[in-house]
């Protein structure tokens, strides 16, 4: 009789244990699932914010904004934006014109848009960075001070006439922008930072065009990663924001395909002006000249290269002159 | 025998309590999921509307269409000469414009001085959930005659 009672009590306890474990397991599963859903939803919110910024770029020109986002790591690749974590949330684009560091950390984003014209409007360029990223501008020419003025006030930027003594202020990335003939020596205080987190560009040119050499930390020295080119202040600022040569060239290729599309429309528009504006007005010579410059820009915009940048800059100036002539003679304008 | 029945009843009671408990939890979850789903649907609709407005704005600010005088942009104005060239270029680069215009139909209809219609972009999907139609009055500028016409920019956006 006693054995039977003992068995009953034991059975009761085992039953309570199994039932309790089932309940606990159920709630744990629900909590874990909810946690994953919340994480994915936060990442989706961040991605949505970035998508909204990108789609709003075409509408707002010359603006700077600081946007609060949930604390996250945003990876920027060629035509792709991802939010890092256990489950990555990504968005792929066909042609994304975005100048940004390859990793944006923190709970704030600095966004800037600038109009890009050659001389007719092509697009707005979008720049994104983090307030935690440090920019050190070194140079004593007008271009250096112009770039310093163009970077957002809220960004962590420092401007020096010559190489100062650099202290490590615990930023996750440091970017040097050098407007000197010779590359600066590598700052000792940054030697312990990971190689990919300390980068630099050396600029050789003027406000219209020039060459950019990309550098990256290599132990206790600089390693050249290659040379590219810029067209106008807007793309030079793009090179300041973008920390790798590949990302910069990807965005520049997208800028060039945009130039190509807009130029095609401008070319066809000018051809219509030649056909439809009465020939006795004397406007046609400006349109014919303008058309040949537009054709040069169209051909040069087929691929991004140093030679093509030179062609576009020269043809843009000549096209601008023809537009001014058309205006002086009260002709319908080329752009 | 009586004791055995008592303990069996006890276990039966516990099972019944657990059963009711789980039923209540399931009802709670179903209720929560339904509320979540309806919230999600309304949020999705709001998002689709926002996306539709975004597409309208992007079309209005396309350099491929905008009027300009010496690169000074005129708001709510579409250049007729650009408009005549834009359809073939935009339709020929449909994949490129998908980033900007997504699944949508973009048309411009001239009402004055003469009636005319341009289909700028058309990319549709069969499995869409929401459909929004937005009409925007626009000025259609002819740079040769320097006269403004009147038209309607119609954008139909489809979202999954």
Q: Distance between CA A174 and CA A136 in Å, rounded? A: 8
For residue A253, what pLDDT is reported?
97
Residue whose C-alpha is closest to residue A61's, from A140, A9, A116, A4: A116
How many C-alpha atoms does A32 have within 13 Å on its Cβ side? 6
Chain-centre distance for alpha carbon A187: 26
Longest dimension (CA), chain A: 124
| Helices within chain A (DSSP H only) | 2-57, 142-150, 232-241, 245-276, 284-300, 306-328
B contact test, residue of A20, A27, A55, A326 with most B CBs within 10 A: A55
B contact test, residue of A121, A123, A256 with most B CBs within 10 A: A121
Q: How many CB atoms lie within 10 A of CB A247?
A: 22
Q: Would you list the DSSP string of A20-80?
A: HHHHHHHHHHHHHHHHHHHHHHHHHHHHHHHHHHHHHHTT--SEEEEEEEEEEEEEEETTE
| Residue reference for tokens 């095609």 | A264
Measured between beta carbons, the chain A residues lying within 8 angstroms of B63 are 120-123, 262
Contact residues for B63 (Cβ-Cβ < 8 A; gap 6+): A120, A121, A122, A123, A262
Q: Do the beta carbons of residue A162 and residue A138 sit within 8 Å?
A: yes
Q: Do the beta carbons of residue B121 and residue B108 sit within 8 Å?
A: no
Least confident of A253-257, B29-33, B66-70, B126-130: B126-130
Q: Per-residue pLDDT averaged across A298-309, rounded? A: 96
Peptide bond into B113 cis (omega under 30): yes
Q: Looking at the predicted structure, is the pLDDT value of residue B4 above 70?
A: no
Q: At what angle do helices A245-276 and A284-300 cross, to 10 degrees?
A: 160
Q: Do the beta carbons of residue B154 and residue B144 sit within 8 Å?
A: no
Torsion angle, CA of B138/B139/B141/B147, rounded to 10 degrees? Answer: 160
Take residue A220 and report the two structure tokens written for it. 């206790």
A contact test, residue of B7, B63, B80, B91 with most A CBs within 10 A: B63
What would the pLDDT profile of A110-143 be if each residue is shown by its tens digit?
999 999 999 999 999 999 999 999 999 999 999 9
Q: Distance between CA B49 and CA B132 in Å, rounded? A: 7
Kindly report the average pLDDT of chain A as a whole number: 93
Measured between beta carbons, the chain A residues lying within 8 angstroms of B49 are none
Q: Do the beta carbons of residue A131 and residue A155 sit within 8 Å?
A: yes
What would the pLDDT profile of A246-281 be if each residue is shown by its tens digit?
999 999 999 999 999 999 999 999 999 999 997 777
What would the pLDDT profile of A183-202 be if each residue is shown by its tens digit?
999 999 999 999 999 999 99
pTM: 0.88
For residue A2, what pLDDT is reported?
54
For residue B45, what pLDDT is reported?
85
Q: Do the beta carbons of residue A262 and residue A254 sit within 8 Å?
A: no
Query: What are residue A63's phi and psi, to 5 degrees?
Result: -125, 155
Q: Do the beta carbons of residue A265 and residue B82 sit within 8 Å?
A: yes
Contact residues for B146 (Cβ-Cβ < 8 A; gap 6+): A332
Least confident of A56-60, A181-185, B58-62: A56-60
Take residue A111 and report the two structure tokens written for it. 């966004």
Q: Looking at the predicted structure, is the pLDDT value of residue B107 above 70?
A: yes
Measured between beta carbons, the chain B residues lying within 8 angstroms of A95 are 96, 99
Distance (Å) from the alpha carbon of B111 to chain A's nearest alpha carbon: 22
Yes or no, beta carbons of B81 and A273 under 8 Å apart = yes
Tell me what ipTM this predicted complex has.
0.82
A167 inside 8 A of chain B by CB: no
Return the bridge partners of A205, or none: A210
Q: Per-residue pLDDT averaged across A143-155, rounded? A: 95
């Amino acid at each position: 009789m006693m054995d039977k009672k003992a068995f009953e009590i034991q059975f009761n306890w085992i039953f309570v244990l199994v039932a309790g474990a089932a309940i606990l397991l159920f709630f744990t599963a629900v909590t874990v699932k909810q946690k994953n859903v919340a994480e994915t939803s936060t990442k989706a919110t961040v991605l949505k914010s970035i998508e909204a910024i990108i789609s709003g770029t075409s509408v707002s020109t010359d603006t700077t904004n600081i946007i609060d986002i949930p604390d996250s790591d945003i990876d920027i690749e060629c035509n792709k934006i991802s939010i890092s974590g256990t489950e990555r949330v990504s968005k792929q684009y066909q042609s994304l014109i975005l100048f940004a560091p390859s990793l944006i950390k923190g709970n704030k984003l600095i966004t800037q848009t600038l109009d890009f014209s050659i001389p007719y409007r092509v697009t707005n360029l979008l720049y994104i960075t983090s307030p935690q990223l440090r920019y050190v501008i070194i140079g004593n020419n007008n271009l250096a001070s112009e770039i310093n003025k163009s970077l957002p006030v809220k960004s962590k930027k420092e401007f020096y006439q010559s190489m100062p003594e650099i202290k490590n202020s615990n930023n996750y990335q440091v970017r040097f922008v050098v407007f000197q003939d010779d590359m600066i020596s590598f700052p000792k205080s940054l030697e312990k930072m990971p190689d990919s987190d300390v980068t630099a560009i050396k600029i050789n040119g003027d406000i219209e065009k020039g060459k950019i050499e990309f550098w990256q930390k290599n132990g206790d020295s600089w390693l050249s990663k290659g040379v590219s080119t810029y067209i106008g202040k807007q793309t030079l600022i793009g090179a300041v924001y973008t920390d790798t040569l590949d990302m910069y060239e990807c965005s520049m290729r997208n800028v060039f395909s945009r130039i190509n599309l807009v130029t095609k429309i401008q070319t066809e528009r000018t051809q219509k002006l030649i056909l439809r504006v009465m020939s006795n007005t004397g406007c046609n010579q400006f349109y014919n000249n303008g058309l040949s410059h537009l054709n040069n820009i169209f051909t040069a915009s087929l691929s991004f290269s140093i030679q093509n940048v030179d062609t576009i800059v020269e043809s843009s100036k000549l096209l601008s002159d023809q537009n001014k002539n058309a205006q002086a003679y009260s002709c319908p304008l080329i752009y | 025998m009586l004791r055995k029945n008592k303990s069996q009843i006890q276990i039966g009671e516990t099972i019944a309590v657990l059963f009711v408990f789980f039923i209540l939890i399931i009802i709670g979850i179903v209720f929560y999921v339904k509320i979540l789903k309806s919230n999600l649907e309304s949020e999705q609709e709001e998002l689709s509307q926002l996306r539709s407005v975004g597409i309208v704005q992007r079309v209005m600010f396309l350099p491929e269409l905008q009027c300009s005088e010496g690169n000074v942009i005129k708001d709510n104005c579409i250049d007729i000469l650009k408009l005549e060239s834009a359809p073939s270029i935009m339709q020929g680069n449909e994949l490129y414009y998908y980033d900007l215009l997504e699944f949508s139909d973009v048309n411009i209809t001239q009402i004055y001085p003469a009636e005319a219609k341009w289909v700028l972009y058309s990319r549709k999907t069969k499995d869409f959930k929401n459909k929004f139609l937005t009409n925007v009055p626009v000025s259609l500028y002819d740079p040769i005659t320097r006269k403004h016409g009147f038209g309607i920019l119609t954008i139909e956006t489809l979202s999954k």
